[in-house]
């Protein structure tokens, strides 16, 4: 892991806020040349520091609602490969949205998304639990997302400042 330049850190912050910002706008905001920003972004992409530009969607706003569950998974680590190989077997399923190795009472925290409860439940019973290394699972369904990745899902508060003030 190499240390990032201040410019790159600033670029990452600006893109994290809004990934659609152009390199021209970022250059203006940071007071540097556009070329410099373009090169830095290219390097960040090549080094896989910038992994992807994705959109944060509030699915509860649309008809086609999704069900998300967080599943605590206890596993027996595999000799020589620790938790990694079993984690890989789990994260390769497309319905798995995230997998974290955790300290504490369980080992993996798995986020699974499905169209409805049944779909998630059958994923757990048919795919996850039967894995040899999996000792136990505990499924928690998410009822409402308030904030994700630092982004608050509720509508923005209106600007209630006076339009003109001294």
Partner 1 sequence: MVNQSVKAENPTGMKHYINPLVRSIPPSGIRKFFDLVSGSKDIITLGVGEPDFCTPWHVREACVYSLERGMTKYTSNAGIPELREEIGQYLNDSFHVEYNPANEIMVTVGGSEAIDLALRALVNPGDEILIPEPSYISYSPIISIGGGVPVGIETTAKDEFKLTAEALQAAITPKSKVLILCFPSNPTGGTMTYEDYLPIAKIAQENDLIVISDEIYAELTYDQKHVSFASLPGMKDRTILVSGFSKAFAMTGWRMGYACGHRDLIDAMLKIHQYTVMCAPVMGQIAALEALKNGKEEKDRMVESYNMRRRLVVKGFREIGLDCHEPQGAFYAFPSIESTGLSSEAFAERLLFEGKVAAVPGNVFGKGGEGFIRCSYATSVAQLTEAIERMGKIVAKIKHEM
Least distance between partner 1 and beta carbon 36 (Å)? 14
> How far apart, in whole angstroms, are the C-alpha atoms of residue 18 and residue 55?
9
Rank residues 30 and 49 by Cβ distance to partner 1 and give the closer one.
Answer: 30
The DSSP call for residue 102 is -
Options 6, 64, 155, 159; binder of partner 1; rule CB under 8 A: 159
Rank residues 64 and 159 by Cβ distance to partner 1 and give the closer one.
Answer: 159
Rank residues 104 and 166 by Cβ distance to partner 1 and give the closer one.
Answer: 166
3-class secondary structure, 3: coil
Residue 69: CA count within 13 A, CB half-sphere: 21
> How far apart, in whole angstroms, are the C-alpha atoms of residue 73 and residue 85?
14
End-to-end Cα, the chain, rounded Å: 49
Least distance between partner 1 and beta carbon 144 (Å)? 20
Rank residues 30 and 44 by Cβ distance to partner 1 and give the closer one.
Answer: 30
133 phi/psi in degrees, rounded to 5: -75, -15
Total of residues contacting partner 1 (CB under 8 A): 14
9-28 binders of partner 1 (CB under 8 A): 14, 25, 28
> How far apart, in whole angstroms, are the C-alpha atoms of residue 45 and residue 113?
28
Options 30, 49, 109, 121; binder of partner 1; rule CB under 8 A: 30
3-class secondary structure, 125: helix
Rank residues 79 and 161 by Cβ distance to partner 1 and give the closer one.
Answer: 161
Q: Does 143 bind partner 1 (CB under 8 A)?
A: no
Residues of this chain that interact with partner 1 (CB under 8 A) are 14, 25, 28-31, 157, 159, 161-166
């Amino acid at each position: 892991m190499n240390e990032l330049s201040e410019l790159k850190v600033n670029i990452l912050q600006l893109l994290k806020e809004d990934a659609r910002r152009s390199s021209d706008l970022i250059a203006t905001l940071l007071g540097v040349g556009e070329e410099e920003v373009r090169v830095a972004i290219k390097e960040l992409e090549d080094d896989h520091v910038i992994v992807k530009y994705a959109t944060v969607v509030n699915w509860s706003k649309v008809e086609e609602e999704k069900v998300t569950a967080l599943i605590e998974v206890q596993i027996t680590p595999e000799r020589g490969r620790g938790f990694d190989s079993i984690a890989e077997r789990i994260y390769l399923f497309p319905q798995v949205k995230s997998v974290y190795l955790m300290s504490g009472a369980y080992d993996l925290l798995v986020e699974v998304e499905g169209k409805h409860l049944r779909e998630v439940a059958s994923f757990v019973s048919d795919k996850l639990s039967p894995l040899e290394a999996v000792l136990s699972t505990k499924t928690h369904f998410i009822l409402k997302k308030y904030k994700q990745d630092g982004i608050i899902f509720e509508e923005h508060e209106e600007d209630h400042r006076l339009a003109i003030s001294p």
